[in-house]
Chains A and B, each alone.
Chain A
Amino acid sequence: TQLLEQSPQFLSIQEGENLTVYCNSSSVFSSLQWYRQEPGEGPVLLVTVVTGGEVKKLKRLTFQFGDARKDSSLHITAAQTGDTGLYLCAPRLSNAGGTSYGKLTFGQGTILTVHP
């Protein structure tokens, strides 16, 4: 059974601060996605990381995939109030069968609140 841990669960910071959210597991992932969800809306895909050690940047967001593909992190630089939301990681297992076809298992989520 895959054990997926996302931390921290809650994060409350001031505008301008930096933060990091972690997604860890004992299983190897074939890929991992990060989503952001605002209240009352569906999640929106931010990035997909595929290669061990991969680093992707999206403006002030930096996503890293661990060398062993068991963990990932999301780092936000100089957070803004507009970054407030629920951040979710969703890995895809290496041994996922064809029947999974897009099925996602999400981490517990990190609720980020950025105060002005």
Chain B
Amino acid sequence: EVQLVESGGGLVQPGESLRLSCVASGFTFSDYWMIWVRQAPGKGLEWVANIKQDGSMKQYVDSVKGRFTISRDNAKKSLYLQMNSLRDEDTAVYYCVRPKSRGFDLWGRGTLLTVSS
């Protein structure tokens, strides 16, 4: 089955770190750019970061630059998001997304990160 499964969310305090993971199955992971998109509770969607197939190019929304790092392990068919210096406003469901061209055609079910003291 073609799917993306996220994990690693949880409750952390402001200033702490956390790493999200996403495991892909059913398709050739190394053929695709990969993306993280987040959605704050009751709010809209926000693109967070992209990574090229070989990891050589990474792009971030300004609000996470310098704090978040996207990475991947093609051998493990896995995508990661290392999040440091977390803030209340980072609270969201984080979705792992596969783009086809630039359309986001495959989404995981998401993992919830809550940043609160």
> Do A and B belong to a common assembly?
no
